Amino acid sequence: MILSEKLYPHLLEIDRAARERMDAMLPWMMEAAGVTEELKARDPMRWVGLMNTLKAQAEEIVFQELIYG
């Protein structure tokens, strides 16, 4: 794919699709988990922990869908 100059456009498309999927999925997951601005103000450490967990879960889903699948 490198020699035919198709690798980099392919990788850019996968990256774009993965970012779009993350951007669509994360707000939905935040709402389902009850991660709000109020929680961020009241308990910032819990908010950070939940956000890190949600981001890792969303990344794993995207990897399974787009990269490994």
Share of the chain above pLDDT 70, in %: 97
Give the SS3 label for residue 43: coil
Give domain status of residue 55, yes or no: yes
**Is residue 57 one of the residues assigned to a domain?**
yes
In the chain, how many domains are there?
A: 1
The boundaries of the domain holding residue 39 are 34-68
pLDDT for 18-36, tens place per residue? Answer: 999 999 999 999 999 999 9
Dihedral of alpha carbons 48, 17, 61, 29, sign: positive
* Mean pLDDT across 36-48: 97
In a domain, 58, yes or no: yes
pTM of the model: 0.82
13 lies in some domain: no
Quick check: is 28 in a domain?
Answer: no
Give the Cα separation of 9 and 12 in Å (integer).
Answer: 5
Please say if the pLDDT value at position 2 is more than 70. no
Inside any domain, residue 6: no
pLDDT reported for residue 1: 65
Chain mean pLDDT for the chain: 93
In a domain, 62, yes or no: yes
